[in-house]
Amino acid sequence: MDEPQAWIPTDPRSRPSHDQVVAGLKGVDEGGPELVQLLTPEGERVPDERFDRYAADITAEDLRSLYRDLVLVRRADREGNSLQRQGELGLWVPLLGQEAAQVGSGRALAPEDMCFPSYREHGVAWCRGVDPTELLGIFRGTDHGTWDPVATRFHPYTIVIGNQCLNAAGYAMGQRFESKVGGSVAGVGTADGVAGVGTADGDTGEATICYFGDGATSQGDVHEGFVWAAAYDAPLVFFCQNNQWAISVPAERQTRVPLYQRARGYGFPGVRVDGNDVLACLAVTRWALDECRTGNGPVLIEAFTYRMDSHTTSDDATRYRLADEVELWKLKDPIERVRVHLARRHGVGADFFDAVDAEADALGERMRAFCRAMPQPGPERMFSQVYAEPSPTVERQREEFLAYHASFADQED
């Protein structure tokens, strides 16, 4: 097919052809003509009648801040990957290639919004004020994450595929029941050199965002979240990072239609955005959150991106995908297009880029030192934080375990 043809069923018995399935999923260029894009891979700003106004206030300084986010998030991810290879972490879940989707959507959130991640949202964590060192314990097996989900408005990582969609739907329904919906936010400002969202005057509504991958869309939990969010008009943005591969299963094996079109079946809007374009991801997520805050939610966003690394460090992506595919997506790198745009259109020089690189190196060194200095918790740790309130039963089991463990230590002496 020369051009991707959107398949719109006119007969309930009709089915798309194989070519229509593939064309609809991947298109001929970065997701097809329905893709929202504001910054091309070559760094050119392109207009979009629908979403331009959601990025109209972005200044050169905001773009520099977003670039800094992208570079530091990638450096933190690469350091986590290296620490696992060196035996310091048991596992790492890379986000390489998905930085723009996470930073763009993360920076669109207002402070009062709530975020439900899966296990790959290190960039969103960064945007919510969670230091990368706070992620290390999860993958070292020493804790479940040390950040405060109430203070950061960033829920702990969810390992069970798609389960966070149920949690997010329930939370967003609560926002609706508690009359926290109504109002909007607008405007990007900066705080401490980091791009963020400035709220408009007057009352503002709250919204929730939930992150998951293309593979999770085949899980029942995701669809149940869609049903309940739609039935209750929950202020919930479903943010699907379609990185083309659910471990070894390609996207075309998951669905017959583009993922964003699935929203139509549940009665709410869906949109596909260039997930390697941080500006477009910011604008589209702002629009979606605004829809939710004003009572029009939920919304499904499909961020069309690519997982440049393996699914996790226990996976070998070279066994199921071609190197040519990876090389093609390297040309769409989310960081390089912002760098080129800043240099060509805003005259940003090498001093800025060098300073960001130096800051990224310092972050990597800090993560490495922190990880290697982490204390090894004793086996009695399994009895901590079992219940919110003290439990006599758990305490008794803990004492019995410690006595049992001490008896073996005495025998070894």
Give catalytic residues, as residue numbers.
Answer: 307, 311, 320
For residue 21 the two structure tokens come to 């399935």
**What is the torsion angle, in degrees rounded to the nearest 10, for the CA atoms of residue 255, residue 261, residue 264 and residue 268?**
120
Cis omega (within 30 of 0) for bond into 379? no
Cα 239 off chain centre by: 8
Q: What are the CA-CA distances from residue 13 to residues 9, 10, 259, 390 (Å)?
A: 8, 9, 20, 59
- 282 phi and psi, to 5 degrees? -65, -50
Closest CA to 125 of 143, 99, 86: 99
For residue 345 the two structure tokens come to 């259109």
**Residue 148, SS3 per DSSP:** coil
Whole-angstrom Cα distance, residue 151 to residue 75? 25
- H-run or E-run covering 108: none
Strand 236-242 relative to strand 299-304: parallel, antiparallel, unpaired?
Answer: parallel
**Residue 240, SS3 per DSSP:** strand
Whole-angstrom Cα distance, residue 84 to residue 105? 27
Contacting residues for 100 by C-beta, under 8 A, at least 6 apart: 70, 275, 276, 277, 278, 281, 305, 334, 335
Q: CA 189, 190, 194 angle in degrees (round to 5)?
A: 135
- State the greatest distance between any 2 C-alpha atoms of the chain, in Å, as a whole number: 79
**Residue 208, SS3 per DSSP:** strand
- 266 phi and psi, to 5 degrees? -105, -5
Q: CA 206, 210, 215 angle in degrees (round to 5)?
A: 165
> How many CB atoms within 10 Å of residue 262?
19
Tell me the residue ranges of DSSP E strands in 50-125. Answer: 114-116
Whole-angstrom Cα distance, residue 276 to residue 285? 14
- 158 phi and psi, to 5 degrees? -115, 120
